Amino acid sequence: MTNAAWSVVEVASRSLHPDEREAVLGDLNERDESAWQGLLDVLGLVLRRQVTLWKSWQPWLTAFGVTVPCSFLLMGASLSICQSWLWFIDGRTLRSADLAAAWVLPILACHAALLLGWSWTAGFVVGSTSPRTLWVSAVLCCSPCMFCLARFQVPSLSRFCLLLFLLPATWGVRRGLRISRLRLSWAIALASATTLMIAFIGSSGTQRWWTPAAWILNATLTWPAWYLVLASTRLRKKTCGDSTEDGGSTT
């Protein structure tokens, strides 16, 4: 194989498990196959692995339960925060929402913290639940972003305000890839904090929390945090079960 062709095969094999990649590339080398045949072989294996992955529920959940809805809603939330911040600087918030001056900054900070929490948890769920189909989630996240960026027409705001959520979401994905599960105490703290902030914003009168749209928005963006609680609880139960079994077998 030429070096260039070999590089293409290597790139194609990157989505395989490291051990499997090692064995497959070694086999191709040993049999001295043509670059084209090697590429077809590797792509065939990658395709089979992807099909196997999509037989389970995790990729579907992360792609269509988290990535697609959260991307759209988080873009809206990012835009809303940038707009509120501009209004706050202009001093218009005070007039429009009839809020006491002392409440404006905490509520704005709460909105920002919520955006951070929602984005991070959504990213963490995507990264930890189905790491090997991350590329699909990335495509599904980028498509609506590109669509909205192309049609963005708010003169007072930069179009990159739409993508504010991407930084914490990417951080969450990276964290999710490194540690597959959060500690239960952290997961509960995160989910509770998110829910409390929603309640705080709702009680301040800046959001019509009783409307169906607000309920759908809050529920869609908050459920990944509660999903993490559920996943951590299940992991803890499993770990406790395993350690009990180990204890039983040694005594």
Partner 1 sequence: MAESVNSLLLTSLCRAQHLDIDFRREYNHNVVLMMGEFEYLLITAADNLAENAYGAAIRPQIEATTGHKCSIGALYTTIDRLEKKGLLTTWMGDATPQRGGRAKRMVRVTAKGVREAKGFYEAVTGVSRGASWVANRTRGVS
Nearer to partner 1, 21 or 159 (CB): 21
* Residue among 224, 173, 170, 162 at smallest CA distance from 195: 224
In terms of C-beta density within 10 A (0-12 exposed, 13-18 middle, 19 or more buried), how is residue 173 classed?
buried
CB of 52 to partner 1, least distance (A): 7
Q: How far apart are CA 36 and CA 228, in angstroms?
A: 43
CB of 178 to partner 1, least distance (A): 23
* Residues near partner 1 (CB under 8 A): 19-20, 22-31, 41-42, 44-45, 47-49, 52
* Residue among 176, 37, 56, 53 at smallest CA distance from 119: 176
CB of 67 to partner 1, least distance (A): 27
What one-character DSSP code corresponds to residue 14? Answer: G
Nearer to partner 1, 45 or 235 (CB): 45
Helices (H), 91-211: 92-97, 101-129, 134-150, 166-178, 184-204
Region of 33 please: left (phi>0), alpha (psi -120 to 50) or beta: beta
Query: Which residue type, as a one-letter code, is found at position 92?
Result: R
Q: How far apart are CA 196 and CA 185, in angstroms?
A: 16
CB of 134 to partner 1, least distance (A): 21
Nearer to partner 1, 37 or 158 (CB): 37
Nearer to partner 1, 49 or 175 (CB): 49
CB of 132 to partner 1, least distance (A): 14
Nearer to partner 1, 78 or 133 (CB): 133
